[in-house]
A and B are shown apart, each in its own frame.
Chain A
Amino acid sequence: ELQLVESGGGLVQPGRSLRLSCTASGFTFGDYAVSWVRQAPGKGLEWVSFIRSIPYGGTTEYAASVSGRFTMSRDDSKSIAYLQMNSLETEDTAVYYCTRSGKNGGNMIDYWGQGTLVTVSS
């Protein structure tokens, strides 16, 4: 069964850092890109970041709202994707979803994890 399990969320003060993890199972993780999508309380969906599979360069894309503060990486040997979040702001408070994105260089999101809540507050 395909699974994406997020971890690492919690309460953090503004200006501090947090690292989210996404552990994948049930498919060949290294063949796929991964995206993070967030949802602020009571709001809609906002794409955050994307990392290509290693055969397609392993390069990243970021939303303007997090560029320069967030860094995405992956460890295919462990089937884990990471989102390092620095200089957190109250506006970053949201449920963060790990998603499976395209195979063969694509970026379509087809499966979502259950999400992890990040609360940025003093």
Chain B
Amino acid sequence: EIVLTQSPATLSLSPGERATLSCRASQSVSIYLAWYQQKPGQAPRLLIYDASNRATGIPARFSGSASGTDFTLTISSLESEDFAVYYCQQHSRWPITFGQGTRLEIK
């Protein structure tokens, strides 16, 4: 099973700041890495697919990048609605696995 390790567990930032969230895979997942955002009481929402492609309707302040087995989600300038939990997920090999999540909270 491919293990995804997200860091940090919690990130405390202020609106307007830049957020950098990391996800490391235990083995290669090629580009088959997605990022999801989940707000309290809501279902997750797809933000980024294939490591760097924004999903439909996702603002340009969200971007994804990859370097080998290291993946990064960047939010260039935080808006109030961006404070949530973020999960990475690989769908390269079965079983599909998720990272444990990064909680982005208001400082």
Within 70-95 of A, Cβ neighbours of B (below 8 Å) are at: none
Query: Contact between A50 and B44 (Cβ–Cβ < 8 Å)?
Result: no
Interface segment, B10-18, B68-76, B91-99? B91-99
A109 B95 Cβ-Cβ under 8 A: no
Of the candidates B36, B95, B100, which one forms a contact with A63 in the assembled complex, judged by CB atoms under 8 Å apart?
B95
Q: Which of A18-54 contact B (CB under 8 A)?
A: 35, 44-47, 50
| Interface residue from B32, B43, B98, B99 paired with A108 (Cβ < 8 Å) | B32
A7 at the interface (CB under 8 A from B): no
A: number of interface residues (CB 8 Å) = 20
Query: With a CB–CB cut-off of 8 A, which chain A residues contact B98?
Result: 44-47
Known: A108-B32, A108-B34. A114 touches B43 (CB 8 A): yes
Residues of B bordering A, CB below 8 Å: 32, 34, 36, 38, 42-46, 49-50, 55, 87, 89, 91, 94-101
